[in-house]
Chains A and B, each alone.
Chain A
Amino acid sequence: MDSRLITTYEPDNSLKKGYRSIFPEIYNELKANRWLIFQLFKKDFLALYKQSFIGLMWAVIIPLVTVGTFVVLNGAGVFNTGAIAVPYALYAVLGVAIWQLFSAGIIASSNSLVLAGPMITKINFSLKSLVVASMGQSILSFLVGFCVVVVLLFYYRFVPSAGILLLPLLIIPIILLTLGLGFVSSLLNGILRDIGNVLSICMTFLLFLTPILYAKPTTGILAVVSTYNPLYYLVSVPRDLALTGVSPEWKGFALSSAFAATVFLVCLVFFHLTETRVTERV
Chain B
Amino acid sequence: MNDDAVIRVEHVSKKFCKDLKTSMRYGIEDIGRNAVGMPSRCGQLRKQEFWAVDDVSFEVERGQTLGLIGPNGAGKTTLFKMLNGIFWPDKGKITVKGRMGVLIDVGAGFHPMLTGRENIYVNAAILGMSKQETEEKFDSIVEFADIGNFIDTAVKHYSSGMFVRLGFAVAVHCEPDILLVDEVLAVGDEGFQKKCFNKIGQLRDAGTTTILVSHNMHVISTFADKVILLDKGNAHHFENVADGVKAYNKLFWKLEDSGLEKVISGNEHISFFNESINRRVLHPRDTFCISLDYDSQIGYDNLDIDLAIVSSNELGHYFQATNRAYGKQINLPKGRNRLIIRIEDIPINQATARIIISMWTNNRTEKLFWWMIPVEFEGVNYSTGKNFLKARYEIESALRN
* Interface of A toward B, CB cutoff 8 Å: 1-3, 5-15, 19, 35-36, 38-40, 42-43, 46-47, 50-51, 118-125, 187, 191-192, 270, 273-274, 276-281
Q: Are A9 and B89 closer than 8 Å at their CB atoms?
A: yes
B372 contacts the other chain (Cβ, under 8 Å)? Answer: no
- Report which residue of B94, B109, B207 has the largest number of chain A beta carbons within 10 angstroms of its beta carbon: B109
Q: Are A191 and B27 closer than 8 Å at their CB atoms?
A: yes
B130 contacts the other chain (Cβ, under 8 Å)? Answer: yes
How far, in Å, is A117 (CB) from chain B's closest CB?
A: 10
Interface string of B66-97 (1 = CB under 8 A from A): 00000000000000011011111111111111
B148 contacts the other chain (Cβ, under 8 Å)? Answer: no
Chain B residues with CB under 8 Å of A124's CB are 84-86, 100, 102
Closest to A280 in B: B87
Chain A residues with CB under 8 Å of B40's CB are 11-12, 277
Interface string of B28-54 (1 = CB under 8 A from A): 101100110101101100000000000
The answer to whether residues A6 and B96 also contact, given A125-B128, A277-B30 and a CB cut-off of 8 A, is yes
Q: Are A15 and B86 closer than 8 Å at their CB atoms?
A: no
Q: How far is the CA of A182 from the CA of B227 in the complex (A)?
A: 44
Chain B residues with CB under 8 Å of A50's CB are 113-114, 154
Q: Are B86 and A122 closer than 8 Å at their CB atoms?
A: yes
Q: How many residues of B contact A (CB 8 A)?
A: 55
Q: Are B39 and A15 closer than 8 Å at their CB atoms?
A: yes
Q: Are A3 and B98 closer than 8 Å at their CB atoms?
A: yes
Q: Are B97 and A5 closer than 8 Å at their CB atoms?
A: yes
The answer to whether residues A40 and B95 also contact, given A19-B37, A35-B130, A276-B86 and a CB cut-off of 8 A, is no
The answer to whether residues A276 and B97 also contact, given A15-B34, A122-B105, A125-B127 and a CB cut-off of 8 A, is no
Closest to A121 in B: B86
B126 contacts the other chain (Cβ, under 8 Å)? Answer: yes
Closest to B86 in A: A124
Q: 11 interchain pairs (CB within 8 A)?
A: A9-B85, A10-B92, A13-B88, A40-B122, A46-B114, A118-B108, A123-B108, A124-B102, A125-B126, A277-B34, A280-B16
Q: Are B118 and A5 closer than 8 Å at their CB atoms?
A: no
Chain A residues with CB under 8 Å of B85's CB are 7, 9, 124, 276
Q: Are A11 and B90 closer than 8 Å at their CB atoms?
A: yes
Q: Which of A10, A36, A274 makes the CB contact (< 8 A) with B34?
A: A274
Chain A residues with CB under 8 Å of B131's CB are 35
B62 contacts the other chain (Cβ, under 8 Å)? Answer: yes
Q: How far is the CA of A36 from the CA of B23 in the complex (A)?
A: 31
Q: Which of A19, A43, A191, A281 makes the CB contact (< 8 A) with B122?
A: A43
Q: How far is the CA of A36 from the CA of B114 in the complex (A)?
A: 16
Closest to B111 in A: A47
Q: Are B109 and A278 closer than 8 Å at their CB atoms?
A: no
Q: How far is the CA of A7 from the CA of B94 in the complex (A)?
A: 8
The answer to whether residues A7 and B84 also contact, given A35-B130, A36-B126, A47-B111 and a CB cut-off of 8 A, is no
Chain B residues with CB under 8 Å of A5's CB are 97-99, 177
* Beyond known contacts A11-B89, A277-B34: 11 more, CB 8 A cutoff: A9-B85, A9-B89, A11-B39, A50-B154, A51-B113, A122-B104, A123-B126, A187-B31, A192-B24, A276-B85, A280-B16
Q: Top 3 closest A-B pairs, CB basis?
A: A39-B125, A10-B93, A274-B31
Chain A residues with CB under 8 Å of B154's CB are 50
Closest to A5 in B: B98
Q: How far is the CA of A280 from the CA of B87 in the complex (A)?
A: 6
Chain A residues with CB under 8 Å of B31's CB are 187, 273-274, 277-278
Q: Which of A7, A43, A192, A270 makes the CB contact (< 8 A) with B96?
A: A7
Q: How far is the CA of A27 from the CA of B122 in the complex (A)?
A: 22
Closest to B91 in A: A11
Chain A residues with CB under 8 Å of B121's CB are 39, 42
Q: Which of B42, B43, B91, B97 makes the CB contact (< 8 A) with A1?
A: B97
Interface string of B108-145 (1 = CB under 8 A from A): 11010110001001100111101100000000000000
Q: Which of B23, B39, B62, B108 makes the CB contact (< 8 A) with A122?
A: B108
The answer to whether residues A36 and B125 also contact, given A1-B177, A51-B113 and a CB cut-off of 8 A, is yes
Q: How far is the CA of A99 from the CA of B84 in the complex (A)?
A: 39
B150-174 interface (Cβ within 8 A of A): 154
Q: Are A42 and B118 closer than 8 Å at their CB atoms?
A: yes
The answer to whether residues A280 and B27 also contact, given A35-B125, A43-B118 and a CB cut-off of 8 A, is yes
Closest to B100 in A: A124
How far, in Å, is B357 (CB) from chain A's closest CB?
A: 50
Q: Are B62 and A1 closer than 8 Å at their CB atoms?
A: yes
The answer to whether residues A119 and B126 also contact, given A3-B98, A11-B89, A124-B100 and a CB cut-off of 8 A, is yes
- Report which residue of A6, A8, A12, A15 has the largest number of chain B beta carbons within 10 angstroms of its beta carbon: A12
Q: How far is the CA of A9 from the CA of B100 in the complex (A)?
A: 13
- Report which residue of B87, B108, B122, B127 has the largest number of chain A beta carbons within 10 angstroms of its beta carbon: B122
Chain A residues with CB under 8 Å of B27's CB are 191, 277-278, 280-281
Closest to A44 in B: B111
Chain A residues with CB under 8 Å of B104's CB are 122-123
Chain B residues with CB under 8 Å of A11's CB are 39-40, 42-43, 88-91
Q: Which of B24, B92, B114 makes the CB contact (< 8 A) with A43?
A: B114
Q: How far is the CA of A280 from the CA of B15 in the complex (A)?
A: 11
Q: How far is the CA of A19 from the CA of B37 in the complex (A)?
A: 9
Chain A residues with CB under 8 Å of B6's CB are 1
Q: How far is the CA of A123 from the CA of B129 in the complex (A)?
A: 13
Chain B residues with CB under 8 Å of A46's CB are 111, 113-114, 118
How far, in Å, is B118 (CB) from chain A's closest CB?
A: 6
How far, in Å, is A190 (CB) from chain B's closest CB?
A: 9
Q: How far is the CA of A200 from the CA of B97 in the complex (A)?
A: 43
Q: Are A6 and B95 closer than 8 Å at their CB atoms?
A: yes
How far, in Å, is A81 (CB) from chain B's closest CB?
A: 40
The answer to whether residues A2 and B98 also contact, given A12-B40, A277-B27, A278-B31 and a CB cut-off of 8 A, is yes
Q: Which of A14, A123, A274 makes the CB contact (< 8 A) with B102?
A: A123
Chain B residues with CB under 8 Å of A281's CB are 23-24, 27
Q: How far is the CA of A13 from the CA of B37 in the complex (A)?
A: 11
Chain A residues with CB under 8 Å of B125's CB are 35-36, 38-40
